[in-house]
Amino acid sequence: MTHRSRSAFTPIRLLGLAIGAVFAGPAVFVVWRTLRLGATLPETLSEIPAPLWRTVQLAVLVSATTAVIGTGLAWLTMRTNLPLRRAWRVLLVLPLVLPSFVGAAAFIAGLSPGGIIHDALGLVGVSPPRRFRGLGASWLVLSAFTYPYVLLPVMARLVSLRTSLEESGRLLGFTATQVFVRITLPQLKPAILGGSLLVFLYTVSEFGAVQLLGYDTLTRVIYSTRLTNRALSFAAATVLLILALGIVALERSHRGVVAPDDRAATKPAPPVRLGWRVIPALAVCTFVAAIGLIVPLLSLGTWARRGLADGRVSLSEMADPALSTATVAVTAAVLAVLVVLPIAVASIRRPHRLSQMSSVSVVAGFAIPGLVIALSLATLTLNTPVFNRFYQTMALLIVAYIIHFGSQALAGTETAVRGVPAGLRESSKLLEPRRGRRALRIDMPLMRPGMAAAGGLVMLSTLKELPITLLLSPIGFSTLATDIWASYEEGFYAATGLASLVLVAMSAVLTWLLVLRPSEAVSS
Amino acid sequence: MASTPHTAPADPVEPPGDEQAGAIAPPIIGASVAIDAVTVTYDSPGGLGHTVGAVNNATLDVPAGSILALLGPSGCGKTSLLRAIAGLERPTHGTITIGDRCVSSDDTWVHPERRNVGMVFQDGALFPHLTVTDNIAFGLRGSSLKLSRRERSARVGEMLDLVDLAGLGDRYPGTLSGGQQQRVALARSLAPQPSVLLLDEPFSALDAALRIQVRAEVARIVRDVSVTTIFVTHDQDEAFVLGDRVAVLRNGYIEQVGTPDQLYRQPSTRWVAGFVGEANLVRGQVDTSSGDAAMAHTLLGPVPITAPLTVGSEGELDILVRPEQVELQPGDGALVTNVEYYGHDVRYELQLDDGSILAARTKSSKLHERGARVCVRFDGPATEAWPAAGAATAATLLTP
């Protein structure tokens, strides 16, 4: 079968290439538009360095902070006798359910007169800071909500790490601390680097939180100049794109050539006894959970409760945006999985350079900031005769989500395709000659869990997405995210609080299903 | 034995600079290990505060430079005992002494990194982020040897020669075969000149053919360097081939300690008899009529027994008869039900008249066909016997 000579351009590969091209489209368009600026390009670029420097500063600070917090908390909750460590494992992952712009809004609302942080500080006699904005505020907020991106992979690695490595280190004459530095940390390095990379990307692409906190990064430039100075907007988008793709390439090249050691631990490591250090350890965990989860939720809850009490907001008002949020999220999830399925099938079942290309194009999408995709698609449809009927349509919004989150769908779908190994497909061919029945009876049931997980991740990300929704939503269409944004800009904190809580509740359910349940299964 | 030079005799060509390497690396002086009334317990994984006994009141002496095998089925506590010697588990009771230093007792605890003990794990436990050279050199930095950079690299080269892996120093563990990985692990644990070497089922991850080869090589190396060696295995062949002495563990208790031959010929219990090799327990009666020689009457004729024990209520005994002690002749008394031809010998399964099964091994020169009737006789020196237990059958077959 494999010896039969045939064209490299099989239908499935061609389909894959076409899909890959669509995924690469927005980025290519942004770069092309920027290069067309010609003579005005140098002048435009002269305005970039300041916001670029601020973006890099913030991203480096946040990724370094989350690398330390994430690794430290992973070790505390997985490897020590920290009291209630099972509960901490769940609690410390939960800040993931708060979109960072919601977190930023919660802090600002909490610090404003009448907010709980403001009042609490007043009670202990500390005067609340007059302004909560700029680098420091952005750093605190983004670190508090993104460290789980490091925590989760490091926790998983610590569970699977063979204890015999560390024990060998001890027997070769090193103390526990030396062994952690020389053996354990190098083993955790890929997980820490991978997690920090996600945080870095998240931070450079972050729009909502930095906009609220008044910190002028590249995304803020793109957003504020998109109508008035389109050249600058596109130039900033191109620089942001290069920054994002550059950091991914850097991490890939530093990941190392050593083959990953996939052999799982045969027995759990005995917990390290903390002794007196249990007090500072508990203090750190409490502080992180307070900043990332409890204070923001209390702040939002207080405003929502007040609004509900005096009748300015009601839960029934939330029904519509909640329903439309769920609808776009489910639609985007289902379509994203279906769109990447041909690429997954082509690249797993018959690896070939052509299918590799399309899969790279989809994966690279995760590095392209949502705001860049939104800007590109908005301009493209608005100014192109054939496409302009799509401007501000639901279809375009969904397409943007799929391009943005396609890489998340692809990873899970590839796992699903791998779940039907070649031997199984061959033996099912011998037993059931009808292709359609095979797909129904064999492939689908085996692939369903992986595809559901992939779709779930896309759904979770879509729920929390802001800039694409903001720029591309049809007129009059509002989701929870856009409602939170609009009500905050009007200073209507009660509505911000309530909509945020509904959004958090929805994403909490999904996070539990997709992230916590599987990781519990790993750790128990 | 303790002064055997520390070089690889299998290597016919002396590598250049070997003399210099030998000068900085004196042979390892193995230390004796004394385990006295050691008990190791674990927290039960299910309940709070419950403990599970892994090793109960174990006492063992391992002379300097000898090889001891800890043999037992999985879950018998052999690995826990090994880990207690290494300092990876803390015993709840008892003392462990290495050389003349107490490393573990109720009020003494020496951390594993200070015990000068080397250990090879089941999975090799090579550090995947370090090359073979760096893996072997790892322990030379932590130890109190205080070697210069040059001495370290000389020592690594010497260890690579010892395990016959010269030239692979720059490779990463992930690129080595399973057997090579175990040899690197051995080199790494021997490099800091430990006084005791511990091996935790070091060959169980290898496939059968490779296992025998690597096992022979490891045996050669540890005897060359004359390090005191304690290794854990569930494989009786491995224990007998490698061990000067073997300690058999069961349910956390040491059942018997002895040379392989003692265990095979004079097992202290029926369980040990069956665990260390195939055994027939043949029912017999003590012959009180004959004089001082203890003799028993059995279906296999008279069988000499080592010591007349307290005999069961009806004077009946279960007598240990190894398959190779059964002699077969054309005749009557048993039916050949199965023949397994191995070349060097043949294993028969015979059905006795009461339906019980007897195993026999004979040279392959005289073959009996399946379905043939044969006469069975005992042929061997005095053997062990225990008061009869269980159903009254002529023979009981115990297999490992």
Model confidence at B185: pLDDT above 90: yes
Which residues of chain B are within 8 Å of residue A189 when distances are taken between CB atoms?
A: 129
C-alpha A212/C-alpha A132 separation (Å) is 10
Q: Can you tell me the distance from the alpha carbon of A241 to that of A28, in angstroms, rounded to the nearest whole number?
A: 10
pLDDT confidence bin for B98, thresholds 50/70/90: very high
Whether A258 sits inside 8 A of B128 (CB atoms) is yes
Nearest to A173 among B143, B173, B174 (CB): B143
Q: CA of A258: which chain B residue's CA is closest? A: B129
CB of B29 closer than 8 Å to CB of B194: no
Chain A residues close to B86, C-beta within 8 Å: 167, 171
Fold category of A47-309 in CATH? MetI-like fold (1.10.3720)
Tens digits of residue pLDDT in B129-155: 889 999 999 888 765 667 788 888 899
| CATH code of the domain made up of A15-26+313-491 | 1.10.3720.10
Which range has the worst mean pLDDT, A448-457, B46-55, B256-265, B322-331?
B46-55
What CA–CA distance (Å, rounded) separates A222 from A241?
12
Classify residue A264 by its DSSP letter: P
CA–CA separation, B68 and B357 (whole Å): 34
B175 in Cβ contact with B131 (< 8 Å): no
Q: Which of A173, A187, A258 sits opposite B139 (nearest CB)?
A: A173
Which pLDDT value is given to residue A75?
92
Contacts of A86 in chain B (CB under 8 A): none
A98 CA to chain B: closest CA distance, Å? Answer: 35
Q: Which residue has the higher pLDDT, B74 or B249?
A: B249
- What's the pLDDT score for residue A255? 62
CA distances from B115 to A147, B33, B118 (A): 40, 12, 9
Indicate the average pLDDT of chain B.
84
Say yes or no: A162 contacts chain B, CB-CB below 8 A.
yes
Q: Cβ contacts of residue A414 below 8 Å, gap of 6+?
A: A344, A347, A348
Using the CB atoms, write b or e for A386-415: b if 16+ within 10 Å: eeeebbbebebbbbbbbbbbbbbbbbbbbb
Binned average pLDDT, 10 residues per bin, chain A of 524 residues: 59 81 85 78 80 92 95 91 88 87 87 81 78 87 92 86 88 88 89 88 88 89 84 86 84 60 62 86 93 89 86 81 88 90 81 75 79 87 78 87 87 80 77 78 79 83 88 86 87 86 86 66 46
In the sheet that holds B93-98, the strands lie side by side as B51-62, B33-43, B93-98, B101-104
Query: Which pLDDT score, from 0 to 100, does residue B71 have?
Result: 94
Q: Which residue of B has its CA nearest to A268?
A: B45
The predicted pLDDT at position B203 comes to 87
Which ipTM value was assigned to this complex?
0.79
| Domain B18-265, CATH homologous superfamily name and number | P-loop containing nucleotide triphosphate hydrolases (3.40.50.300)
In angstroms, the separation between the Cα of residue B10 and the nearest Cα of chain A is 27
The answer to whether B333 and B326 are in contact (CB under 8 A) is: no
Q: Give the residues across from B360 on adjacent strands.
A: B348
Span of A213-222, A255-264, B17-26, B87-96 with lowest mean pLDDT: B17-26
Please name which of B198, B249, B193, B229 lies closest in space to residue B38, comparing C-alpha atoms: B249
User: A183 in contact with B at a CB cutoff of 8 Å?
Assistant: yes
Chain A residues near residue B118 by CB distance under 8 angstroms? 171-172
CA dist B244 and B260 (Å) reads: 7
Chain B residues with a Cβ under 8 Å from any Cβ in chain A: 86-88, 111-115, 117-119, 121-123, 125, 127-129, 138-139, 141-144, 172-175, 188-189, 192
Nearest to B141 by CA among A40, A170, A172: A172
Across the interface, do A171 and B112 touch by the CB < 8 Å criterion?
A: yes
Residue pair B273/B384 in contact by the 8 Å Cβ criterion: yes
What does the pLDDT look like over B113-133, one tens digit per residue?
Answer: 888 899 999 888 888 888 999
pTM: 0.80
**pLDDT at res. B144:** 63
Using a CB–CB cutoff of 8 Å, tell me whether A39 touches chain B: no
Q: Which of A162, A170, A186 sits opposite B123 (nearest CB)?
A: A162
Q: How far is A344 from chain B (nearest CA, A)?
A: 28
Domain limits, chain B:
18-265, 278-398
Q: Check residue B16 and give its pLDDT.
A: 42
A40 touches chain B (CB under 8 A): no
Distance (Å) from the C-alpha of residue B139 to the closest C-alpha of chain A?
4
| Residue A523 sits at the chain B interface (C-beta within 8 Å) | no
Residue A464 structure tokens: 């929390």
Q: Which long-range CB contacts under 8 A does B283-291 form with residues at least 24 apart?
A: B283/B316, B283/B317, B283/B318, B283/B319, B283/B388, B283/B392, B283/B393, B283/B394, B283/B395, B284/B316, B284/B317, B284/B318, B284/B319, B284/B385, B285/B315, B285/B316, B285/B317, B286/B311, B286/B315, B286/B317
Q: What is the pLDDT of residue B18?
A: 40
pLDDT at B313 over 50: no
Residue in chain A closest to B194 (alpha carbons) equals: A172
Q: Taking 50 as the threshold, does the pLDDT of residue B22 lie above it?
A: no
The pLDDT confidence band at residue B30, using thresholds 50, 70 and 90, is: confident
Look at B86 and A171 and tell me if their CB atoms are within 8 Å.
yes
The values of phi and psi at residue A521, to 5°, are: -60, -30
- pLDDT for the residue numbered B59: 93
Instruction: Report the top-level CATH class of B278-398.
Output: mainly beta
Q: Is A178 on the interface with B (CB under 8 A)?
A: yes
A168 CB within 8 Å of a chain B CB: yes
> Contacts of residue A523 in chain B, CB cutoff 8 Å?
none
How many CB pairs lie under 8 A apart between chains A and B? 82
**Chain A: residue whose CA lies nearest to B90:** A270
Name the A residues in 225-264 with CB < 8 Å from any B CB. 256, 258-261, 263
Q: What is the pLDDT of residue B2?
A: 41
Does B172 sit within 8 Å of A258, measured CB to CB? yes
Q: How far apart are CA B203 and CA B185, in angstroms?
A: 12
Chain A neighbors of B117, CB-CB under 8 A: 171
- Read off φ and ψ for residue A281, nearest 5 degrees: -60, -45
Domain chopping of chain A, boundaries: 15-26+313-491, 47-309
Taking an 8 Å cut-off on Cβ atoms, the answer to whether A165 and B127 are in contact is: yes
Residues of chain B in contact with residue A167, where contact means CB-CB under 8 angstroms, are 86, 88, 112, 119, 121, 125
